[in-house]
Structure 1
Amino acid sequence: MNAPDTAQAKRPDEMAANLSPEVREKYRNLPRPPRFDTVAQERLHRKQRLAAAFRLFSKFGFDEGVAGHITARDPEVLDSFWVNPFGVHFSQVKVSNLIRCDHHGNVVEGDYPVNAAAFAIHSRVHQARPDAVAAAHSHSIYGRAWSTLGRKLDPLTQDVCAFYEDHALYDDFGGVVVELDEGQRIAQALGGNKAAILQNHGLLTVGKTVDEAAWWFITMERSCQVQLLAEAAAARTSEPLRLISEAAARQAYSIVGTAQAGWFQFQPLYARIVKEQPDLLD
C-alpha cells in the first residue's frame, strides 16, 4: 500500500497584510499554546485536552452511538496517536482510558479496542498531514444534514469565514470507512485544508493542537446549522441570501481562521468542562 502524499496547511498562520499594524499587534499578543519542558508533560497535556474535547462533544450532542473519534498525535512516537476507546461513550472518556494506536492499527497502550473507522481515517490523515497534531470526526446532526447536499459552506457569517477557501468536499461516499484506501482518499481530498465535508457522512477537522481541531469541529457544525436555517428561511421568504464579499471574507479569515484563533476559542470551553466534570482528568 502506498502512503498518501504529505500536505501542509494551505496558508501561513499570519495576519492579513491589509490589517493595520495596531490590529495585528493586538492579535499577536493573544495567549498562545503552551510550551513544555518534557515529552511527558506534553503528552499529558494533549490527553487532557483530548478527554475534555470528548466531554464537550457529548455535551453538545455530537455523539451517535459508538461513532466518532478525535485523535492526538503522540509527541514522542510520532507515527502513533491517542484516541477514544471503542465502545465507551464520549461522556465517559477520561485521560486514563484513552488508548494509543500505531499506524498499523495495533493498540500499543490501553485496555480497549480501536474503532476500525478511526484507524482507517485518522491514520491516513496524520500520515498525510505532518502538521496536524489532532483530527476530529463525529456524526453530528447538522454536519450530517449539510453533507447530504454535496456542497461546501458559503461565507454567510463572520464565524464561517474561518473556513473560507480552507475546507474541502469529499464526494465519494463508499460505505462505512474500514479500508485504508478510502481513508487515503479522504486525506487526499482534505489536502492542506483545516476541514472537509464528507458527503453523506459528516465533518472532519484538523489542527496543530487538540484545542484547535476540536474548536473547528464545533464551529463548523454550528455553521452548517446556520446555513441550513438560513437557506430554509430564504426559500420561505423568496429573499436571496446575502453572502460576505471575497475581500471581507478573507479579512475575517485572517482573524478568526488562524491556528492561534482556533486554539484560543477553545480555552473557555476547556475551563468550563473541567469545572463541571473534573473526573475527565482522572
Structure 2
Amino acid sequence: MSSQTTFQSVEEERQHIKNRLAASFRIFSKFGFNDGSAGHITARDPENPHHYWVNPFMKHFSQVKASDLLLIDEDGKVLEGEGEINGAAIAIHSAIHKARPDVHAAAHAHSPYGMAWSTLGRLLDPITQDACTFYNDHSLFDDYTGVVYDDSEGDRIADSLGGNKAVILRNHGLLTVGQSVDEAAWWFVAMERACQVQMMAESTGSKPVLIDPESAAHTYEQMGLPDIGKEDFKPLYDMIIKEQPDLLD
C-alpha cells in the first residue's frame, strides 16, 4: 500500500499534480479515449482548492504537456496559462468539485465502450473481479438533453454521482472522480474495461454469472479503495513517462 507523498513546498506539490494530469491525458490518448475536442480531466490546485487545473480546449490529448495546463476558477475564468476552456468542462467539473470537497480530480472522456455501455441505461454488474471495483460505488445519470453547457445540468450530474467514485452518463459516457489525479484516471481506465468486458460477455447470448453480494463486497474492499486506485495508476504513469518524457515539459 502506498504511503502519503510529502512535498517541500506548494510549488513542488503543484508540479506533481500537473505532471500526473498531463500523463493522464497521454494515457487516455494511447488507449483511444480522445474523441475530437471532447473530454477533460480536472485537478484541484493545492494552494486554492476552489481553483482547478484543466486541459486547454481543442488540444489533442496526445499533445498535452504539463506547461499547457490551464488554471481556472469555479466560473471558468482562466487565471494562468493560455487557451480556451471547454464549456462542458466548466459546467460538469465545477459542479462536482463544489458538491464533493473530498474530490481532488475528476475525469470524463468519450471512450468507445463507455459510450456504448451508456446507451443501455444500466449499471455495471459484478461479473468479474475487476468489475467489483465499482460494486455499490457507481451510479447512473438517467437523462440526456444534449451537450452539457448549462450549470443546472452539471448540478444534476453531481447529484447523480452522489458519494460514488463514478457515474454513467446515459447516452454520453463515463465520469470518474478520486482523491488524486492518479485515482480518478485509473478508475476511468478500469471502468472503460469493465464496460468492454460486460458487453463482450453479453454478446455471447448467455447471461453472465454474477458474483454473490458478499463476495462482491469483499472484493470491492480489495480492489476499489482510494489507495488501491492510486497504486494501480503507477505502472501506467511509469510507462507513459518512459515513452513520452516530453509531457513533463
Quote the offset at 1:33 in angstroms.
Answer: 4.1
Secondary structure in structure 1 of the residue aligned to 2:42: strand
Structure 2 residue 121 is matched with structure 1 residue 150: yes
Q: 1:81 aligns with which of 41, 46, 52?
A: 52
The one-letter amino acid paired with 1:114 is I
Unaligned runs of 5+ residues in structure 2 are none
CA deviation vs aligned residue, 1:30-79 (integer Å, no higher than 9, x gap): 22341223211111110000000000000000000010000001011111
Counterpart Cα distance in 1 of 2:3 and 2:98: 25
Structure 2 residue 215 is matched with structure 1 residue 257: no
Structure 2 residue 140 is matched with structure 1 residue 161: no
Structure 2 equivalent of residue 7 of structure 1: none
RMSD: 0.7
Structure 1 equivalent of residue 165 of structure 2: 194
Quote the offset at 1:105 in angstroms.
Answer: 1.4
CA deviation vs aligned residue, 1:225-267 (integer Å, no higher than 9, x gap): 000000011x1xxx33110010110010001000000000000
Quote the offset at 1:221 in angstroms.
Answer: 0.2
Fraction of identical pairs, as percent: 59
Q: 1:219 aligns with which of 190, 195, 198?
A: 190
Distance 1:184-1:255 versus aligned 2 partners, 3 A rule: same
Counterpart Cα distance in 2 of 1:47 and 1:246: 38
Counterpart Cα distance in 2 of 1:207 and 1:35: 18
Counterpart Cα distance in 2 of 1:214 and 1:52: 10
Structure 2 equivalent of residue 69 of structure 1: 40
Within-5 A mapping of 1:111-260: 111-233=82-204, 235=205, 239-260=206-227
Q: 1:57 aligns with which of 15, 18, 28?
A: 28
Structure 2 equivalent of residue 100 of structure 1: 71
Structure 1 equivalent of residue 242 of structure 2: 275
8 A Cα contact 1:33 1:263, kept in partner: no
Counterpart Cα distance in 2 of 1:128 and 1:48: 25
The number of aligned residues is 249
Secondary structure in structure 1 of the residue aligned to 2:145: coil
The one-letter amino acid paired with 1:258 is L
CA deviation vs aligned residue, 1:66-113 (integer Å, no higher than 9, x gap): 100000010111111000010100000000010011001101111001
Q: Which runs of 4+ in 1 moved over 4 A?
A: none
Counterpart Cα distance in 2 of 1:155 and 1:35: 36
Distance 1:46-1:202 versus aligned 2 partners, 3 A rule: same
Unaligned runs of 5+ residues in structure 1 are 1-29
Give 1 or 2 for the bigger CA radius of gyration: 1
Counterpart Cα distance in 1 of 2:170 and 2:32: 20
Tell me the TM-score normalised to structure 1 length: 0.87
